[in-house]
Amino acid sequence: MGQKFIAREPFQFSNGAIGYRPGGPFDTIGPFAKVKNCPIEGTMLRLTAYATGHADTFFSIPACTRRRGKYIGGYFTNNDGGVYFVPYDRFRHLIEE
């Protein structure tokens, strides 16, 4: 896992997450290059997550994070103006306590 997009300009989401966007005229990823304090869907966790590619649908951007040294794949989605990280089912066991 590594950060794939430059994160220069901060953006505050309504749920307290702080997103960073590359900026400039060719910014195709928006404030999802790096998201600090991002809520993880279905848990009380807040982790830093990174976009791993461009949006595959209108509603999701592929992303990843780490917890206890383990890679967790998933995607970013918006809900009521706030961003959330949704892990893929095969990684759910890594975030459940």
Instruction: Provide block-wise average pLDDT over 10 residues at a time, the chain (97 residues).
Output: 83 94 88 94 93 86 94 91 93 87
Instruction: Tally the domains of the chain.
Output: 1
The answer to the question of residue 29 being in a domain is: yes
Residue 96 lies in a domain: no
40 within a domain of the structure (yes/no): yes
pTM of the predicted model as reported, rounded to 2 decimal places: 0.90
Side chain identity, residue 13:
F
Provide the 3-class DSSP secondary structure of residue 32: helix
Domain enclosing residue 65, as ranges: 9-91
Q: What is the pLDDT of residue 97?
A: 66
Termini Cα distance of the chain: 22
Q: Is residue 84 part of a domain?
A: yes
Q: Lay out the sheet containing 18-21: strands in order across.
A: 9-12, 18-21, 34-39, 46-51, 61-67, 70-79, 82-87
Residue 21 covered by a domain: yes
| In-domain check, residue 34 | yes
> Is the sign of the CA dihedral 72, 88, 90, 41 positive or negative?
positive
Contacts (Cβ under 8 Å, ≥6 apart) of 94? 67, 68, 70, 72, 87
pLDDT at site 58: 78
Q: Is residue 1 part of a domain?
A: no
The answer to the question of residue 4 being in a domain is no
pLDDT of residue 77: 92
CA-based R_g, the chain, Å = 12
